[in-house]
Amino acid sequence: MGPAVAVFPAARESIRSNDSTFPFRQDSDFHYLTGFPEPDALAVLVNDDSQRLILFTRPRDPKQETWTGRRYGPEGAREIFGADEAFPLNELDSVMPRILSNVDRLFFAFGKEEAWDRRITGWINQVRIKGRRGAVSAPTRLVDAAVVVHEQRIRKEAAEIDRMRTAARISAEAHMLAMKACTPGMTERDVQCRLEYSCLSRGARAMAYETIVAGGSNACVLHYVENGNRLKEGDLVLIDAGCEFDNYASDISRTFPVSGRFTRAQRSLYEVVLDAQEAGIKTARQGETILSVHSSVVHVLAERLVGLGLLEGDPERHARICLQSTETPDEEAWDERLEEGEVGLHHYYMHNTSHWLGLDVHDVGRYREGGAWRVLEPGMVLTVEPGIYVAPDAEAAPDEYRGMGIRIEDAVLVTEAEPEILSESCAKSVEEVEAACRGRW
């Protein structure tokens, strides 16, 4: 095969309002490949006789830097980030056609940003025009670079796992601080602020996603982010929050009593979710799949919810129907369905158990290969996050459980031996959580 070139753009700054921008977050693929933290840059990997990293960066500009911050410039790109060559961005259109000359394959994530698609097509056309005079040839094969990088990103290297452990440890401490700080009468926002303060003051630059602090039945809204209500004595509060460390995400959910002590009913339902989560984590080993992790969780939930009177009938049948519901939302396609008016497990557990975790909270990488669920391998990181959500108006549910939403979530590293729970240090059993609420864990 002839020479190949891969092109990866950095993220751009995006407007929040008028001329203010959102906090800048580097594109995950670009960060993975370069570590270069500035917007607008372009990384070019050349694979010919040499193997080179070329970076295009914003130029040094003392006047502009006084306003918007220091820049590394092409020199910094070479000296600090190890680029073999570096150019200021204003040379892109003159340098890139030269780089793409006599290249056979071009790797680029076409279709993500139209402006880049057009610009790259423009460079290829310039090479083609020159090629008509016979001097050079333009790339003839375009390959989706995203798929290639995402398949690398799914297996984490030791340095990445270290960062993920750090992110998880910082977030675990913050969850326990929230348990300790929480008292009836505080708002969900108060708790959010304390948790995020804890993360940012311990070295995280940002949260990995919007923090969910959901008191009482707000927890039955899966992506509740308003965080505007007051927390009530006797309610549970569900927190789903995790920070980023060097752009690597953590993702932890815990549910605890606002007043620090579980009621009997809360404890019963909590332990169902906890036991399901433990069964899921045990299954997260090499050779298994995300489906088999989900299936372990679903079987425990089905069995135990029948025991608590939230479901009726054969737990095995409830488990099968629930697994079908996550496979396809189209009930017509299921082999087996609920009776008219019957309540199923998927009415209380409507999401999947796992997603990949890494630079993105819902990380990249294929879940299936050739139609079959992908086999777990050492180095993969997935969440295990069962939940039970009993809406306040769930008429078939015993009164004592209505309005409860419980989710327990940790990230698990698949290893050659036992699964490693990255957020292991976060209080989780009933006793640990109650102790953390008293500030003694």
Residue of 70, 98, 223, 440 marked catalytic? 223
Would you tell me how many other CB atoms lie within 10 Å of the CB of residue 406? 25
3-class DSSP state of 246: coil
d(CA 390, CA 402): 5
CB-nearer residue toward Mn ion: 101 or 383: 383
Residue 355 is a catalytic residue: yes
Residue 85 is a catalytic residue: no
Q: Which of 27, 190, 196, 251 binds Mn ion (CB under 5 A)?
A: 251
Interface map 48-87 toward Mn ion (x if CB under 5 A):
----------------------------------------
Contact in structure between 327 and 295 (CB atoms under 8 Å): no
Identify what 270 binds: Mn ion, ligand GLY, none; CB under 5 to 8 Å per kind: none
Helix (H) / strand (E) element for 52: namely strand 51-57
Residue 299 is a catalytic residue: no
Maximum Cα–Cα distance across the chain: 83
Residue 162 is a catalytic residue: no
Binding site for ligand GLY (CB under 6 A): 209, 240, 251, 355, 361, 385, 409
Residue 347 is a catalytic residue: no
Identify what 209 binds: ligand GLY, Mn ion, none; CB under 5 to 8 Å per kind: ligand GLY
Residue of 251, 278, 363, 410 marked catalytic? 251
CA 113 to chain CA centroid, nearest Å: 21
CB-nearer residue toward ligand GLY: 196 or 240: 240
Site of tokens 């997935």: 382
Per-residue tokens: 112: 């993500």
Helices and strands in the chain, H and E counts? 13, 21
Q: Of the candidates 429, 394, 389, 434, which has an alpha carbon nearest to the alpha carbon of residue 263? A: 434
Q: How far is the CB of 274 from ligand GLY (least distance, A)?
A: 17
Residue 190 is a catalytic residue: no
Interface map 203-242 toward Mn ion (x if CB under 5 A):
-------------------------------------x--
Q: How far is the CB of 252 from Mn ion (least distance, A)?
A: 7
Nearest position to ligand GLY, beta carbon: 240
Q: What are phi and psi of 53, to 5 degrees?
A: -105, 125
Q: How far is the CB of 181 from Mn ion (least distance, A)?
A: 20
Per-residue tokens: 216: 């009482």
- Paired residues of 107 in beta bridges: 6, 143
Site of tokens 């327990």: 408
> Would you please indicate which residues are annotated as catalytic (active-site) residues?
19, 223, 240, 251, 351, 355, 362, 385, 389, 407, 409
Which residues lie near Mn ion (CB under 5 A)? 240, 251, 383, 409
